């Protein structure tokens, strides 16, 4: 989401200046790829402006192809096939052993409803999920339908510029069934013009992180979390600590005592929370609020012995942890990385949260079986890049 926020800001500048630009989006991959579907890059004045669709290997070719899109004003889909050993010598040089499909489209089309950039930006700012269904190809050919789309907001409202009424109806029915927790994916619809490939993208708002405690070690925690694009809220009862000057990158800095928290901060099922007040009694009061809530992850900073004492104290307050609460509660918080210092601890903690949210068991990627993204490998074939 952080990457897209940068793209959206650049788009606003370009539109205000009346300049033309092109947006490239990874819409499908088979095998290995550095970026997943939904990765985007912006090209303005034939220059790579923001975002990326690979680790830097494809971007130069995408910029070249964007020039043609700027001239013709017609979207196109480019397929980069790097499954051959010869690709390292004769191709674009990824050596990734994957097939990447990239939609390249003129950005001024977005001024028409539905406005893709505006829609995703609204999802992020409102912290709401959304669905975008984009026609990629019809009957394996780039046609007039390519780049048309339908979007669905969190409340179910839809906008579409898909001109084929039958296809628009099918996409509408399909999108109405897609859930916010579903993965982005490519799907197919049969039409009078042939098989239509549609990229269904699930837009998720930034992960909401609550940091309880505004001590010096919370500063790098908030900063690194914002680097990940998360929505960061810092809460402390001390006005001298919970200040915008100390946490300039946080989305919200709140001065509140434990009893005030439920009225000031949403404790929903998408939220993750860190308790790091460095005060035993305040940690206890915050845990009394968090454990009965639906917060998906609760991390407690401090040694194992202290965590055990807090658990015993909670039991004396008739708050013995259930099995479900134990699964959400991480104490001591963080991965075993041998981390030292506030920045190292922040890395350890945020890495654990990322693993939990992604449903992964932390480990070395070299030991992982199959694709690091969990994707199905493809059979190697001759390398090529086609439009």
Tokens read off for 5 = 């926020």
Identify the pLDDT of residue 342.
95
Q: Which residue has the higher pLDDT, 381 or 347?
A: 347
Q: Which residue has the higher pLDDT, 267 or 371?
A: 267
Identify the pLDDT of residue 90.
37
pLDDT at 386 over 60: no
- The whole-number average pLDDT for the span 89-109 is 70
Identify the pLDDT of residue 376.
47
Domain ranges of the chain: 1-109, 112-205, 208-358
Provide CB contacts within 8 A for 87, sequence distance 6+.
81, 93, 94, 95, 383
Q: Burial code of 197-230, b = ≥16 C-beta within 10 A, e = fewer? A: bbbbbbbbbbbbbbbbbbbebbbbbbbbbbeeeb
Identify the pLDDT of residue 88.
45
| pLDDT over 90 percentage in the chain | 64
pLDDT at 109 over 70: no
In this prediction, residue 42 has a pLDDT band, given cuts at 50, 70 and 90, of very high
Which contacts (CB < 8 Å, 24+ apart) does range 89-95 have?
A: 90/383, 91/383, 91/384, 91/385, 92/57, 92/58, 92/61, 92/385, 93/57, 94/34, 94/54, 94/55, 94/57, 94/58
May I ask the CATH architecture of the domain 208-358?
3-Layer(aba) Sandwich (3.40)
Q: Which residue has the higher pLDDT, 268 or 84?
A: 268
Provide CB contacts within 8 A for 261, sequence distance 6+.
235, 267, 286, 289
Per-residue model confidence as pLDDT tens digits over 205-215: 999 999 999 99
């Amino acid at each position: 989401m952080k990457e897209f926020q940068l793209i959206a800001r650049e788009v606003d500048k370009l539109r205000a200046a009346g300049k033309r630009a092109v947006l490239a989006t990874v819409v499908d991959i088979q095998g290995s790829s550095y970026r997943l579907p939904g990765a985007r890059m912006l090209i303005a004045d034939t220059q790579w402006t923001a975002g990326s669709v690979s680790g830097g290997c494809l971007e130069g070719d995408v910029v070249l192809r964007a020039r043609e899109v700027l001239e013709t004003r017609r979207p196109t889909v480019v397929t980069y096939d790097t499954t051959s050993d010869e690709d390292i010598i004769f191709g674009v040089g990824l050596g990734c052993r994957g097939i990447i499909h990239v939609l390249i489209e003129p950005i001024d089309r977005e001024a028409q409803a539905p406005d893709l950039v505006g829609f995703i930006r609204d999802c992020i700012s409102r912290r709401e999920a959304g669905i975008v269904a984009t026609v990629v190809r019809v009957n394996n050919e780039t046609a007039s339908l390519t780049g048309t789309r339908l979007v669905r907001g969190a409340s179910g409202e839809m906008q579409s510029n898909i001109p084929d009424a039958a296809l628009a109806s099918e996409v509408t029915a399909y999108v109405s069934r897609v859930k916010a927790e579903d993965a982005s994916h490519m799907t197919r619809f049969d039409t009078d013009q042939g098989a239509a490939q549609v990229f269904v993208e699930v837009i998720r708002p930034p992960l909401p992180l609550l940091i309880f405690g505004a001590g010096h070690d919370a500063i790098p925690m908030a900063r690194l979390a914002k680097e990940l694009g998360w929505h960061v809220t810092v809460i402390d009862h001390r006005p001298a600590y919970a200040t915008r000057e100390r946490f300039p990158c946080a989305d919200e800095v709140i001065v509140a005592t434990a009893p005030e928290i439920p009225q000031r901060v949403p404790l929903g099922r998408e939220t993750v929370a860190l308790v790091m007040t460095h005060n035993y009694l305040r940690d206890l009061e915050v845990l009394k609020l968090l454990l009965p809530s639906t917060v998906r992850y609760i991390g407690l900073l401090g040694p194992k012995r202290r965590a055990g004492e807090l658990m015993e104290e909670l039991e004396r307050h008739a708050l013995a942890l259930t099995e479900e609460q134990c699964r959400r509660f991480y104490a001591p918080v963080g991965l075993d990385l041998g981390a030292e210092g506030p920045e190292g601890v922040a890395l350890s903690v945020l890495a654990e949260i990322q693993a939990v949210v992604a449903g992964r068991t932390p480990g070395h990627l070299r030991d992982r079986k199959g694709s690091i993204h969990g994707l199905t490998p493809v059979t190697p074939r001759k390398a090529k890049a086609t439009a």
